[in-house]
Amino acid sequence: DGGITQSPKYLFRKEGQNVTLSCEQNLNHDAMYWYRQDPGQGLRLIYYSQIVNDFQKGDIAEGYSVSREKKESFPLTVTSAQKNPTAFYLCASSMVGRAIKLSGNTIYFGEGSWLTVV
């Protein structure tokens, strides 16, 4: 079955260390997104990509980096420059263009990753 897979579910980061969260989808979606969620808060957009080899900064990109070398994959690296990385991270993918107007349920989320600084 098609879907979107995030890993790992739980991750611990030491001070000064970079860590990478994986996001893979086999839905043939063009657009992919990374969000951060802090307790009791909404989803804040970190980075997004609407096509391979292209991505844009979201609202809170500082301290994060991404790549989009393949359509299926959109990994997120939390760098040591991100001073407060402890949060719940969600990856999502979506159809774009005309397809999004035909059916609303076009955004698929991964199960999320919990990142904690130790």
Partner 1 sequence: GQNIDQPTEMTATEGAIVQINCTYQTSGFNGLFWYQQHAGEAPTFLSYNVLDGLEEKGRFSSFLSRSKGYSYLLLKELQMKDSASYLCAVVRSNDYKLSFGAGTTVTVRA
Contact residues: partner 1, CB under 8 A: 31, 33, 35, 40-45, 48, 50, 56, 58-59, 88, 90, 92, 94, 96, 100-101, 103-107, 109-112, 114
Q: Of the two residues 17 and 62, which places its CB atom closer to partner 1 in the complex?
A: 62
Smallest gap from Cβ 75 to partner 1, in A, equals 18
Smallest gap from Cβ 10 to partner 1, in A, equals 11
Q: Of the two residues 14 and 101, which places its CB atom closer to partner 1 in the complex?
A: 101
Smallest gap from Cβ 36 to partner 1, in A, equals 11
- Closest by CA to 35, choosing from 117, 116, 113, is 113
**φ and ψ of 100, to 5 deg:** -70, -20
Distance, CA of 25 to CA of 4 (rounded, Å): 4
- Cα-based distances in Å from 1 to 5, 46, 84: 12, 28, 36
